[in-house]
A and B are shown apart, each in its own frame.
Chain A
Amino acid sequence: MSVATPPRAEIGVPHRPLRRGADNALVGGVCGGLAIRLGVSERAVRVVTCVVALFWGLGLLVYFALWLTVPRAGEDRSIAARLLGGRNRLLRVAVAVAIGILVLLVLHPFSQALLGPLSWAFLVAVLGLIVVWRGATPQERQRLEELGRNTPLLRRREEWTRTSALVRILVGLVLVLLGVRLVALVSRPIDGGAPAAIFGAAFVVAGVVVLLAPWWLTLVHDLSDERRSRVRVEERAKLAAHLHDSVLQTLTLIERSAGDPGQVTRLARTQERELRQWLFGPERTDHGATLAGALEALAGEIEGDYGVRVELVVVGEATLTDALADLVAAGREAAINAARWSGAERVSIYAEVEPDTASLFVRDRGRGFDPAAVPEDRHGLAVSIRERLGARGGSATVRSTLGEGTEVALEVALA
């Protein structure tokens, strides 16, 4: 196209190469661009284009040729240039042209029967649109998408205007009529035959879809809206039930035991732990099935029973095997001892799972004791723990300094 190459700027005349309009575009911006270039009104150009289009589709052909070869305002390459950039340009052009001709040859008889002499122009337009879409920049694609969305065909019932309804009914009816005509053609001996019947049926279906689309879209929207609101209501009910069972109950208990600070602290701590677990904790289906789960239950139990704060840190995770259950049981003894005797406000429990061992540390910064001066009955307990863990390939050590606190280190081997 010779029009596509910008004319040389002459002295005194502003350089005005032909560009497709970006701001004043209806479809591809060709008419808008021409109007600016020629200095005439857009409307005039559009009317002329439409009239020329009626002559065997010539206008349509020219329109697409310009759309492909003229860069959009603000861009430096045309769609064709963009598609053809790079290597093998000849080969690609050849392939594209071959495909285009093939499509024309196959479809022309059908469309000929439907649209008469204008059919080839119609097909060229469809092929042209496909090429344009392949080569368009994101901005232009977005514009085209918007154009598609804004056609009256795809609006929901609530968004109907009188025009969109009219256009919809018209398009639907035309499609249905075309389909019926195609099917009717099959009875006559004409090229096409069975495929034409299929095309006809497709046209009828498309027409019906276009006619009924708004109701269908509305229905789908209503259904998903309803589902969403039901989920919300259920969430809310679940939350309310949880708060009632836990927080409200605890608050009532706290009010009742306002005179007993120890009890209030205990209640508040237990509730805090529960709520924290519910809000931030990982969702567990089976609470006792993992080491971390078992230790959390243990921490909750001790906080509830002894009114101390238990600080639990777990590194790594493992399923609760027999060996680990023994480890937790031993840790429980140690933590209860700390809570009961140390006088410390806080007990730290730290568990770490390594590839072949699991260890558990229970530490308090309480009064501590002299391990040599432990009464016999508690000694027995320590011995039994040690033996049990020893059987699991582990160990138990107690370190305590008077006035500094106590730390019990427990360890088992992981099979």
Chain B
Amino acid sequence: MRPRVFLVDDHGLILAGLRAELADHVEIVGAADEVGSAVEMILERRPDVVLLDVHMPGGGGEAVLTEVARVAPEVRFLALSVSDAAEDVIAVVRAGARGYVTKSISAPELLEAIFRVADGDAVFSPRLAGFVLDAFASEGHLGEAEVDPELNQLTPRERQVLRLIARGYAYRDVATELAISIKTVESHVSSVLRKLQLSSRYELTHWAAERRLT
């Protein structure tokens, strides 16, 4: 089944490029170049996946995400950006994006990521994986109001998976390397995404602002 995809980007060239690259493999149900119309059209057309530009005037991708999520939480978002600044990455992921890829991603990889998000899985680029490893590295420095310590630590297995992704392994390579199924890899990654979104580690934001992801 071809997922229904909606594009949001304020650069016409990028929109045209994405359309050309994706049109043969997914059903593109629309595109918008600013926050207001994006929210409106997404709510009207209910796509499976929204490819979302992080940097846009009027609140950026984060604004679209929060607006849509309030009404239609089932719409899934994949953030697409030229920026590698950690505060941007972390802001969209924490706002609910199912993944984050940079615009330099190749077309087949982008397609794979879209299908993955459409299936409800998470998409981690090597950078995002590296970021999570770094942010969750220290054992101490937990927030004061610790409700759920589970959320603030990665399991050894999750750490292994993230390391391989940061090393440039695709999900199926990770699965082969660790002798587990792709489904298991996906569930590990989804659980990391959940921790990333829900963790109360104040460090995440703090760290992101201070160090920036390069």
Contacts and interface: CB of A to CB of B under 8 A. Distances in A.
A345 B106 CA distance: 10
Given A350-B126, A363-B167, A315 B214 contact: no
Interface string B174-214: 00000000000000000000000000000000000001111
A114 interface: no
Contact of B104 (A309, A312, A315): A309
A71 to B, nearest CB: 38
Q: Which of A313, A345, A407 has the most CB of B within 10 A?
A: A313
B212 A315 contact: no
Contacts of B168: 311, 346, 348, 350, 361, 363, 365
B202 to A, nearest CB: 20
A280 B167 CA distance: 22
A281 B134 contact: no
Contact of B166 (A292, A296, A315): A315
A315 B126 contact: no
Contacts of A315: 130, 133-134, 137, 166
B19 interface: no
Contacts of A350: 126, 130, 163, 166-168
Contact of A282 (B82, B83, B127, B214): B214
Given A348-B126, A350-B126, A280 B212 contact: yes
Interface residues of A, number: 25
Contacts of B126: 311, 313, 348, 350
Interface in A8-26: none
B166 to A, nearest CB: 5
A276 interface: yes
B16 interface: no
A296 B133 CA distance: 19
Given A348-B167, A363-B168, A313 B129 contact: yes
Contact of B84 (A276, A348, A352, A407): A276
Given A313-B166, A361-B167, A352 B214 contact: no
Contact of A316 (B85, B106, B134, B212): B134
Contacts of B166: 313, 315, 350, 352
A174 B134 CA distance: 68
Interface string B23-59: 0000000000000000000000000000000000000
A296 B167 CA distance: 16
Interface string A353-366: 00000000101010
A341 B8 CA distance: 39
Contacts of B104: 272, 309
Interface string A244-288: 000000000000000000000000000010001101111000000
A152 B179 CA distance: 80
Nearest to A296: B214
A61 interface: no
Interface string A383-414: 00000000000000000000000010000000
Contacts of A292: 214
B133 A352 contact: yes
Interface string A303-325: 00000010111111000000000
A315 B129 CA distance: 9
B127 A313 contact: yes
Q: Which of B83, B126, B163, B167 has the most CB of A within 10 A?
A: B167
Contacts of A348: 126, 167-168
29 contacts: A276-B82, A276-B84, A279-B85, A280-B83, A280-B84, A280-B85, A280-B214, A281-B212, A281-B214, A311-B126, A313-B126, A313-B127, A315-B130, A315-B133, A315-B137, A315-B166, A316-B134, A345-B106, A346-B168, A348-B126, A348-B167, A350-B163, A350-B168, A352-B166, A361-B168, A363-B167, A363-B168, A365-B168, A407-B167
The 5 closest A-B pairs by CB, nearest first: A348-B168, A313-B130, A280-B85, A350-B167, A363-B168
Interface of B: 82-85, 104, 106, 126-127, 129-130, 133-134, 137, 163, 166-169, 211-214
Given A279-B85, A352-B133, 17 more contacts: A280-B84, A281-B214, A292-B214, A311-B127, A313-B126, A313-B129, A313-B130, A315-B134, A315-B137, A315-B166, A316-B134, A345-B106, A348-B167, A348-B168, A350-B166, A350-B167, A363-B167
